[in-house]
Each structure stands twice: as structure tokens, then as C-alpha cells.
Amino acid sequence: MTGAGNISGPRGGRGGSAAPPGGQASAQDEDASLSDDALVALFANGDARAAHVLTARLGPRSYAVALRVLGDRDEAEDVAQEAMMRLWRMAPDWRPGEAKVSTWLYRVVMNLCLDRKRRGKRAGTARLDDVPDPPDPGRSAPERMQDGARIDALQAALMELPERQRQAVVLRHIEELSNPEIAGIMEISVEAVESLTARGKRALAAALAGRREELGYSDG
């Protein structure tokens, strides 16, 4: 799923481009077989290709989650870039096996988002509409329009949630992380995660109630 000017990241097998033939395919396969821990160690030792793989693998998720939490593309880009910069600087001190690199990076993104809110950075849904999402070739035009309407409605409802509920809902239902992993990212208990996501979903359902027909959803 690529558009002009965008780079697809691996996400549960969806997206990405077809593998090129010959030697490039084997190099890509080799890169794909390396763990995040191994790539961070390679990067710390000066391997430039490790930076490319880590950016492709972790960059999209950092940007996407920041976008949903902040509701502003420019702010999300700043947060994602800062989060990756912290990864580059931290690399020599990374101890493999203690935690997942992705968990650490999600935590950095969430804390940067909280810092932005505390500093009074204004987040709004309007900026998301300035640059439309790239079209998904797997969806028809009416389906893409419906997706666009649902995304806009969801983002507006997400911005009405308290910060921590929003973070938990985004990590659970958009990033599809497990409750224990979310607990590690947000540094709270699993029970607290379950409470946040349950309350967040109830609030979202209430905010979107009455718009089912408009958003193309029928009960029957």
C-alpha cells in the first residue's frame, strides 16, 4: 500500500511492496530476519543499512500512533522524528532481552505526546484534513470515501477523550497491541489498561451514536 511520497512499513503482513528479483530479494530477506535488538546493535556499530531497516520497520508505527493521539500531522511528524532520534542516540546503551525495542519506542512516543499537551501545544482535527491519506488500491472509491468519513468521525471523537484513555484506545484498537504490552508502554497495570480502554470505547460509542446511517453502518 504505497502512494507517491510515502513509505510503507511492515504491519502484520499487510502493505509493503513486492520483493525485487535476484540479490536484492536475498538482502531484504536477510534484513527482515534480523530482530530489532540485532538491528539496534548493528546501528550502534555504524551499520547504515540498519538505520534504513529500523526506519522502515518502526517509523510508520511511531508516526501513525502519534497522529492518532495528537490529531495533527505536523505535531505527529515532530514527535515521530524526535522518538527515532532518541533511538539513534540510545543505541549503544541498549541491552537486548530486557524489553522490546518497539515497546520502548511506543513509550517514548506516548511521553512525547504527553509533553506536547502539557506545554500547551494545540492539537486539532483540522490539520488531518490538510493532507489526505493516500488512496488504498484495495478499496473502491465509495469504500475509500466511507473510510475517510469514518476516520474523520473517529478522530474527532478520540480528541474528546482524556489523554490516557485516548492513548490506551489507540494502542489497543488501532495498533492492536496486547493489554500487557500496553501496560508496559504506559507504565500502568493491566487492570488499569482494561479500565481505560473500556471507558474509552464507551465514550467513543456515545460520541458516534446517531451517526450510523451517515457513516454507512446498518444494524440489519
Partner 1 sequence: MAENHIEDGFLEAHFAAARRSSGDLPAALAARMLADAAGVQAARAAVAPAGRAGSGAGLVQQFLRVLGGWPTMGGLAAACAAGVWLGVAPPDFLPDPVGLMVQQSSDVNLLDSYALSSVLAEDG
Residue 14, φ and ψ in degrees, nearest 5? -90, 155
Query: What is the closest distance, in whole angstroms, from the C-beta atom of residue 201 to partner 1 in the complex?
Result: 6
What is the per-residue binding string for partner 1 in 6-25, x denoting contact by CB under 8 A? xxxx-x--xx----------
Residue with cell 485516548: 166
What is the per-residue binding string for partner 1 in 173-202, x denoting contact by CB under 8 A? xx-x------------------------x-
Among positions 34-73, residues that touch partner 1 (CB under 8 A) are 43, 46, 48, 51-52, 54-56, 59-60, 63-64, 67-68
Contact call for residues 56 and 7 (beta carbons, < 8 A): yes
Give CA–CA dist 108/79, Å, rounded. Answer: 9
Cβ-count burial of 147 within 10 angstroms (0-12 exposed, 13-18 middle, 19+ buried)? middle
Give CA–CA dist 127/125, Å, rounded. Answer: 6
Q: Which range in 28-36, 160-168, 179-187, 205-213 contacts partner 1 by CB under 8 A?
A: 205-213
Give CA–CA dist 15/62, Å, rounded. Answer: 16
Residue 38, φ and ψ in degrees, nearest 5? -65, -40
Q: 10 Å Cβ neighbour count for 197? A: 20
Contact call for residues 200 and 169 (beta carbons, < 8 A): yes
User: Which CB, 145 or 189, lies closer to partner 1?
Assistant: 145
Query: What is the closest distance, in whole angstroms, from the C-beta atom of residue 159 to partner 1 in the complex?
Result: 13
Among positions 88-127, residues that touch partner 1 (CB under 8 A) are 88-89, 91-92
Per CB under 8 A, residues contacting partner 1 are: 1-3, 5-9, 11, 14-15, 43, 46, 48, 51-52, 54-56, 59-60, 63-64, 67-68, 77, 80-81, 84-85, 88-89, 91-92, 133-134, 136, 139, 146-148, 150-151, 153-155, 173-174, 176, 201, 204-205, 208, 212, 215, 217, 219
